[in-house]
Structure 1
Amino acid sequence: MTTFSFQRVGAMTLRYSYLLRSSYPRMLEMIYWPLVQMLTWGFLQIYLVGRPGGLAGAEPSAIGAGSLVGAVLLWDILLRGQQGFSFSFLEEMWARNLPNLFMSPLRPAEFVAAMMAMSLMRLFIGMVPVTLLAIWFFGFNLWALGLAFAGFFAILILFAWSVGLFVAGLLLRYGLGAENLVWSLMFVIQPLGCVYYPVAVLPSWLQPICWMLPPTYVFEGLRGVLIDHALRVDLMAAGLALDAVLFTLAAWSFTRLLRSAREAGSLLQTGE
C-alpha cells in the first residue's frame, strides 16, 4: 500500500488551481455573491440603527455592534467553504474523470486533502476582498476579532469540510442525482445554526437540536464578542469537539460509500 504523498496532494491542488485560473467569470462569481450578501445586510443594519428602538423590536445594541454584518461574513465562510470543497469534486464528476483518479496511485485521503486545499484557496479569493470592503462600507473589521475570529474560522471550516465530505460520498454512490445536496444542504442547516438570531428565540424543543450543530456555537460566540465583549472559550471548545466527532463520522461515511460505489460499479457511471 502506498503511503500518503504530499506531492500527489500538491499535484491535484495545482490541477484545480489551473482550472480556476482559466475561468475569470468563475473567480468573479466567488466574490460576487458574498459581496451582494454583505451589502444587502449591511445596508439593512444601517436602516435598523436609524430607527428608534430598531425594527420589529430588534435590539439596538445588537444591531449597532455589527452583528448582522459579522454573521453574514461568517455564514459565507461556512457556505463557500463547503461549496469550494464540493465544486472540485463535482468538476471531476462532470468531466467523468473519477474512474481515472481512483485507478491512479492517488489515495482517497490525498484526494480529500487536495479538495480541502482548494476550499481554502477559493475562500481566500472570495472572502478577503469582501471583508476589506466591509471595513470601507460599514466600518466592521472581522479581522479585528483576532483570536475569536481564528476560533470561529476553525469551527466553520471543519464543519464545512464534514458536510462536503459526506455529500461527496453520496455523490459517489448515487451519482449526480444527489447533486442538489451540494447547493441546498447548508441552507437547511442555516435556520438551525442561529445565524441571525440567538438560540433563545427558538422553541424550547428545537434548541437541543441547534446545540448539536457547530455553527450555533460560532454565531452565539460572535454575539457574545460583539455585544457582551466576552470571548466564550467554552463555546469554542464545544464547537471544536463537535467538529471532531462530525468529521470522523463524515470520513467514515465517505470511506464506506466509496467502497459501496466500487462494489456496485457506480464509479463508471458518473457524469452529466
Structure 2
Amino acid sequence: MNAGFSFQRVGAMMLRYTYVLRSSGFRLLEIIYWPIVQLFTWGFLQTYLIKGYAGQFIGGVEMAAGALVGGVLLLDILLRAQQGFSFSFLEEMWSRNLANLLMSPLRMSEFATALMAMSFIRLTISTLPVTFIAIWLFGFNLWALGVALGAFFAILLVFAWAIGLFISGLLLRYGMGAESLVWALMFAIQPLGAVYYPVSVLPPVVQPISWALPPTYVFEGLRGVLLDRVVRWDLLAQGAALDALLFVLAALWFSRFLKSARRAGTLLQTGE
C-alpha cells in the first residue's frame, strides 16, 4: 500500500543510481573531465590577461580575470546540477524502465527527490576537485566568497532542478526526440545569464529577458563581491524569489506532461 511520502523509496532510487554510476569508471571520469577542461581553457585565458595587461591596468585586470574564472566555476555548478538531474532521468528512459517505475508504489515526488539528491551528489564529485585546482593553478579561491557562495550555490542549484523538471516533462511527452535539450538548453541560457559580462552589455531589448533568469542575479552578485567588495543581498533575494516561482511552475509542467503522456500512451514508447 502506498501510504504517503517514503524516504525508503527515495533511498532505494538513490541506491540504484549509485550502482549505475559505480558500474562504469567512464561515467565518473566524464563527471570530472569536462569541468577541468573548462577551467583550464578559461583559467589560462585569465593568466594571459593578467600577464599581458597588468602593467596597463594595475589591479583591475586581476579582479576582472578573477570574475571570469569565478563565473566559469559557478556556471559549471549550474550545468552539472542540471545534467546530473537529467542524466539520472535519462537512465530510466535508456533502459526502458520508466513505465515499470510508474506502475510501482513510487510517487513522482519521491522520484523527483531522488533525482535532485543524485544531482547534488554528482555535482559534489565534479565541483570539489575543480575548486582546488583553481586555487592551485590560478590562485582563485571560490570558497573565500564565504556566505555569499552558499547563496550563489542554492540559487543555481534550484534553478538547475527547475530546468531538469522542465526537460523531463518534455521527455515524458515527446520521448527521446527531446533528448538533445538535456545538453543544449542550458547553453542557450548562458549568453542571457550574464556569466562573463554585466547585463548592461546586452541590447536594451534583451535585458528584461536576462533579468527574468535567476542565474543573472548570481553572476551580477559575483561581480559585486569580486569587483566592488559588496554582497548584493538585494539581487540574491530577487534571484531566490524567481527561483521559487520557476521551480513551482516546472513542477506543475512536469505533472501536466506526465498526465498527458499517460493519456497519449507514450510512456511505453520511450527508450533508445
TM-score by length of 2: 0.96
> What are the equivalent positions in structure 2 for 1:116-127 lying under 5 Å apart?
116-127=116-127
Q: Which residue of 2 aligns with 1:45?
A: 46
Q: What SS does the aligned partner of 2:100 have?
A: helix
Q: Which residue of 2 aligns with 1:262?
A: 262
Q: What SS does the aligned partner of 1:257 have?
A: helix
1:84 aligns with 2:76: no
Q: Which residue of 2 aligns with 1:34?
A: 35
Q: Which residue of 2 aligns with 1:230?
A: 230
Per-residue Cα deviation, 1:181-210 (whole angstroms, up to 9, x for no partner): 101000000000010000111111111110
Q: Which residue of 2 aligns with 1:196?
A: 196
What letter matches 1:44 in structure 2?
L
- Could you tell me whether the CA contact under 8 Å between 2:64 and 2:227 is conserved in 1? no
Q: What SS does the aligned partner of 1:51 have?
A: helix
Tell me how far apart the structure 1 counterparts of residues 241 and 232 of structure 2 sit (CA, whole Å): 15
Q: Which residue of 2 aligns with 1:218?
A: 218
Q: What SS does the aligned partner of 1:4 have?
A: coil
Tell me how far apart the structure 1 counterparts of residues 42 and 159 of structure 2 sit (CA, whole Å): 24
Which residues of structure 2 form unaligned runs of 5+? none
Tell me how far apart the structure 2 counterparts of residues 266 and 2 of structure 1 sit (CA, whole Å): 27
The CA deviation at 1:62 is: 3.6
State, as a whole percentage, how many aligned pairs show the same letter: 68
Structure 1 137/78 Cα, relative in aligned 2: closer, same or farther at 3 Å?
same
RMSD (Å), alpha carbons: 1.3
What letter matches 1:52 in structure 2?
Y
Following TM superposition, the consecutive aligned residue runs of length 4 or more in structure 1 with deviations greater than 3 angstroms are none
The CA deviation at 1:95 is: 0.2
- Could you tell me whether the CA contact under 8 Å between 2:172 and 2:257 is conserved in 1? yes
Q: Which residue of 2 aligns with 1:11?
A: 12
Count of residue correspondences: 268
Q: What SS does the aligned partner of 2:181 have?
A: helix
- Could you tell me whether the CA contact under 8 Å between 1:62 and 1:223 is conserved in 2? no
Q: What SS does the aligned partner of 2:52 have?
A: coil
What letter matches 1:186 in structure 2?
M
The CA deviation at 1:22 is: 1.2
